[in-house]
Amino acid sequence: MKKIINDPSAVVDQALYGMALAHPDLLRVERDPAVIVRADAPIAGKVAIISGGGSGHEPLHGGFVGAGMLDAACPGAVFTSPTPDQIVAAVEQVNGGAGVLLVVKNYTGDVLNFATAAELAGADGVDVRTVVIDDDVAVKDSLYTAGRRGVAGTVLLEKIVGAAAERGDDLDWCAAVAAKVVANVRSLGLALNGCTVPHVGQPSFALAEDEVELGIGIHGEPGRQRLPMEPADALVGRLVDGVADDLSLSSGDQVLLFTNGMGGTPLVELYLAHGIAERLVADRGVQVERRLVGSYVTSLEMQGMSLTVLKLDDELTELWDAPVRTAALRWGV
């Protein structure tokens, strides 16, 4: 294992130290328990949006803390759920009196710990709701989850519900917007190789030089199918088919198309894949109205990609376009 780190057990804490120094205008970092907080939180009268999950998926979630997106993010150890006390601390830091919405990726540990935190915060009189995202069409149940996993669609959810909270929507409406995103977003990914968790020191899995894993999760969980390596046209075709079929995409639909890198894939490959995906989606008569291309939900240095499609309506498009000011997504301000 070769990584730019010191003690493997201190990676997340030392990265948070650097992140706080890098973005003093956007966020502050509480280190015990670890919470990344929007610089100007709490904001009185605004619904607070909180997410979190295992570290190693950066920029998710800390890179999305800021105006128009998350009020706080709770980074767990690498590929490990944040603890309830982290989440409760986040609620205390950002609660502006209008309620709190917890955005949770569907992994057993995350769901459990966010539920415990919601109960604790609720007992303190905070109005807490939870939305669970499960956009991965690859597998129904896995080592980590009951049901589908939450993957790259999380970025779109956090952006859109963050914009709803920012414009002043109340907790009920934010929860309804979040539910609409979850109902209309699907993802599917593939990996060319595994990644190494620092405190483990060995790759999570190995693929031969001519193999690719379809339907990979963001922790190196087993996918749907191990395939011989194929040209990009064929690989991206599999992702488009999987997502489009599950979402019942049909002619006339308007969508946001998100081509995501898993961390170690060069941008030149992501743009190449995005071009293929747009063409294939358009071939179905579907209109690509908005796009996002880049490595936003990663698995450390894993090489691979995922494709996410969100069906848009006017409200979702308006919320996507709204200003956002975070380390990883920024426009309009």
Residue 331 interacting with its own copies (CB under 8 A): yes
Catalytic pick from 23, 57, 61, 274?
57
- Residue 219 falls in the annotated catalytic set: yes
Q: Which stretch binds its own copies (CB under 8 A): 17-25, 83-91, 115-123, 137-145?
A: 17-25
Peptide bond into 61 cis (omega under 30): yes
Residue 93 interacting with its own copies (CB under 8 A): no
Nearest to 79 by CA among 188, 198, 192, 194: 198
CA distance 137 to 239: 10
Shortest distance (Å) from residue 96 CB to its own copies: 25
CA distance 57 to 221: 14
CA distance 313 to 164: 14
Q: Which residue number, 128 or 236, has a Cβ lying nearer to its own copies?
A: 236
CA distance 4 to 321: 36
Shortest distance (Å) from residue 256 CB to its own copies: 12
Residue 306 interacting with its own copies (CB under 8 A): no
Shortest distance (Å) from residue 132 CB to its own copies: 25
Q: In this structure, are strands 48-55 and 72-78 parallel, antiparallel, or unpaired?
A: parallel
Phi-psi label, residue 304: left if phi above 0, alpha if psi -120 to 50, beta otherwise: left
Residues within window 250-269 making contact with its own copies, judged by CB under 8 A: 259, 263-269
Active site residues: 57, 219
Which residues bind to its own copies, rule: CB under 8 A? Answer: 2-7, 11-12, 14-19, 21-23, 55-56, 58-59, 63, 78, 192-193, 209-210, 212, 229, 231-233, 235-236, 259, 263-276, 278, 288, 291, 293, 298, 300-301, 303, 305, 330-333
